[in-house]
Amino acid sequence: MAAGEEKKCFFCKAGKKTGLNVLKDFICFECEKEIANLSSGDPRYYIYVRDIKKFWKNLQGKENMLKQPRS
């Protein structure tokens, strides 16, 4: 990511300048911190569990695309 460039966070959908790039997806540091600190008693826990499943399915599809030979 170029300096000053904003990317859309997979979870909060906000444009952020800092975060984690995972293949071609992006997680902002705020969401990463929130996910890491959630407990199962938090009402947002199950929302993040659902969204994390979507995130990993999305990554698996992108990873498979990267492994396919180009013609």
Look up residue 69 and give its DSSP letter.
P
> Does the CA dihedral 52-53-55-56 come out positive or negative?
positive
In this prediction, residues 57-68 reach a mean pLDDT of 68
Q: Which residues contact 18 (CB under 8 A, 6 or more apart)?
A: 28, 29
| Whole-number average pLDDT of the chain | 85
Residue tagged 């600190």 (tokens): 37
CA dist 19 and 21 (Å) reads 7
Query: Residue 12 pLDDT > 80, yes or no?
Result: yes
